[in-house]
Amino acid sequence: MMPQRIIRQPEEVRCETAAADARWMLAALGAARAAGDAGEVPVGACVVSCDGNRLLAVAGNLTRTNCDPTAHAEIIALRDAARVAGNYRLTDAIVYSTIEPCAMCAGALVQARIKRLVYGARDERAGAVHSQFRLCDAEILNHRMEIAAGVLEAECRALIQEFFRARRNSDRMK
Ligand SMILES: [Zn+2]
């Protein structure tokens, strides 16, 4: 007997994608919160297989902890994911980041040839996907990824705003 093909409606697929996006963004948010608790800027990222079923890596910022200016959440997660996948090209991967990636991280996402990027809140000042540069879908690059923005945006933004507000207040008390 032939296996029955299940024909899914586009709407149904979209709902599934949205549910998976929210689920993985929560994982990235968890890493962001843990980073914030450790005194890091609370940004988190995770790398997931493109069927949305397998978490390859999850990380928060570690720049202060590691004394490493390149230790952004996305960079650490990409490194770990490549190690797990045994491949420096992550062509079948989706990256979730709580905040719009910076120029360094956007460049790394292109180098890794990821399939899709999903981020939470924009970084109007330094974001390199939409806000300042468009490094992830630039015409001159031979790799372009799918991009989705605004997933759990309010939560992602609140976390980072709260961090900077607290830091400003503690600076004022010094
Ligand atoms: Zn970055």
* Active-site entry in 12, 16, 74, 100: 74
Active site residue 155: no
pLDDT at 15: 77
Maximum Cα interatomic distance, the chain, rounded to a whole number of Å:
75
Segment 34-52 shows an average pLDDT of 94
pLDDT at 172: 79
pTM of the model: 0.91
pLDDT at 6: 64
DSSP SS3 for 167: helix
pLDDT at 110: 95
Distance 97 CA to ligand 1 centre (A): 10
Distance 70 CA to ligand 1 centre (A): 8
Segment 6-13 shows an average pLDDT of 69
Distance 169 CA to ligand 1 centre (A): 25
- Please provide the average confidence, as pLDDT, over all residues in the chain: 92
pLDDT, one tens digit per residue, over 48-63 is 998 878 999 999 999 9
> Which residues have their alpha-adjacent CB atom under 5 A from ion ligand 1?
72, 102, 104-105
pLDDT at 126: 96
Q: How confident is the model at residue 34 (pLDDT cuts 50, 70, 90)?
A: very high
